[in-house]
Amino acid sequence: MTDTERLEKVDGPFYRNEVAPILPPKVLDFHTHTWSAQNWKVKPWESGKDGGTYMVTDEEYPPERLASDGRRAFPDRPYEAVIFGYPSPVADWEKDTAFVAAAGQHRGFYPLVLGGQELALPPGRLRRALDATPFLGFKVFLNWIGDAYGDKTIEQMLGPEEMTLANERRLVVLLHVPRSGRLADPVIQAGVVKLAKDYPGAQIVLAHCGRCYLPSEMRRAIGALRDVPNVHLDTSMVMDALVLQMVMDEIGSDRLVFATDFPVAAMRGRRVRVMDHWVDVVLDGYPPSAYRLASDGIRATFMAVEIAVAIRDAAERVGLTDARRRAIFYDNGIRLLEAVDQGRAIQRLRGEWR
Ligand SMILES: [Zn+2]
């Protein structure tokens, strides 16, 4: 089957029947990447380092490709996205920042700069980047490659310089929590709660629901977030409805923001639980990667759409109102962006959109 045939015969009908009826008029995707390997010092999968083949993906992912993937997944809705670069030691920060700033001029895209203590930027450099470009916050830098990260703490990743700035300007702080225990790890929970309480103005968003892709992880994690209203969860790559149901049951749906993790979620397939780890079951043709299993013996659509299905099913189980369910796909996220620097950042950004 060609890609066009697949879009018409597989993706299109599934989207129209299963997902389109529950979406708001516009979709905001709170976690996407854009990059060019020209801004990398080395390709992770050629680095020879542990974890280098953890998430093998395209070397070029310009904003036009991201917009196109958004259109392919959600063909009848305007697609908007929070975008950021390649949050890894292989990226050259200056080049990556310039690339994302330029991509942020694309209508409907909301850029975040890479920030974090371990970038060791010169003092004041992050503040100058935020003054020069209407970034709405920062994606926290990950000082590791792939899944080779045993013992980082949140305190190591985020220091007073960037968090003071986040607190002052109500920046979005998009944080991929470290350690193998994820948000289910008490050390991580304590770190997140301390960060949220020390910097109540910061709008902390935990990527991938605190990396709790599995119910057994979310069960141990979600209670920690009950009393920290400035901590939010993005749904990128979370396709298990039970995980999202636990979130809605325990802390409600207002702090949940729809997100995909394009380009990863542009694959056709689904992230599933097998024993005590996730596995990405995908159609044939994607590069081999850890925890990725390919087959052409299945039917599959975009992972981005599977995330929406999981939200739909969780919302149905907890009896969420239609308005609250729709808000997960747009209002909950845009509210965070509009609060940055009392609305000045988003206003300036929209003025610069081409
Ligand atoms: Zn990501």
Q: How many angstroms separate the alpha carbon of residue 11 from the centre of ligand 1? A: 23
d(CA 256, CA 70): 20
- Tokens for 255, please give them: 């702090």
Question: Is residue 286 domain-resident?
Answer: no
Question: Is residue 140 domain-resident?
Answer: yes
pLDDT attached to residue 146: 60
Question: Is residue 291 domain-resident?
Answer: no
- Tokens for 48, please give them: 């020879």
Confirm if 328 and 258 have CB atoms less than 8 A apart: yes
Q: How many angstroms separate the alpha carbon of residue 33 from the centre of ligand 1? A: 6
pLDDT attached to residue 50: 56
Question: Is residue 237 domain-resident?
Answer: yes
Q: How many angstroms separate the alpha carbon of residue 86 from the centre of ligand 1? A: 8
At a CB cut-off of 8 Å and minimum separation 6, what does 212 contact? 182, 183, 184, 218, 221, 222, 238, 243
The CATH number that applies at residue 92 is 3.20.20.140
45-79 pLDDT, tens per residue?
Answer: 666 655 555 555 678 999 999 999 999 999 999 99
> In which order are the strands placed within the sheet that holds 203-206?
113-115, 137-140, 172-175, 203-206, 231-234, 256-257
Q: Residue 127: give the domain boundaries.
A: 3-270+299-352
Rounded average pLDDT over 110-126:
95
Domain count, the chain: 1
Q: How many angstroms separate the alpha carbon of residue 235 from the centre of ligand 1? A: 11
Query: In whole numbers, what is the pLDDT of the chain averaged over residues?
Result: 94
* pTM for the whole structure: 0.95
Side chain identity at residue 14, one-letter code: F
Rounded average pLDDT over 8-24:
98
pLDDT attached to residue 147: 59
Question: Is residue 14 domain-resident?
Answer: yes
Q: Report the chain's C-alpha Rg in angstroms.
A: 19
Length of the chain counted residue by residue: 354
- Tokens for 175, please give them: 């944080």
Q: How far is CA 76 from CA 12, 19, 72, in A?
A: 10, 11, 9
238 burial type by CB count under 10 A (0-12 exposed, 13-18 middle, 19+ buried): buried
Q: How many angstroms separate the alpha carbon of residue 345 from the centre of ligand 1? A: 23
Q: Which of 161, 226, 235 is nearest to 199 (CA)?
A: 161
Q: How many angstroms separate the alpha carbon of residue 315 from the centre of ligand 1? A: 24
pLDDT attached to residue 144: 77
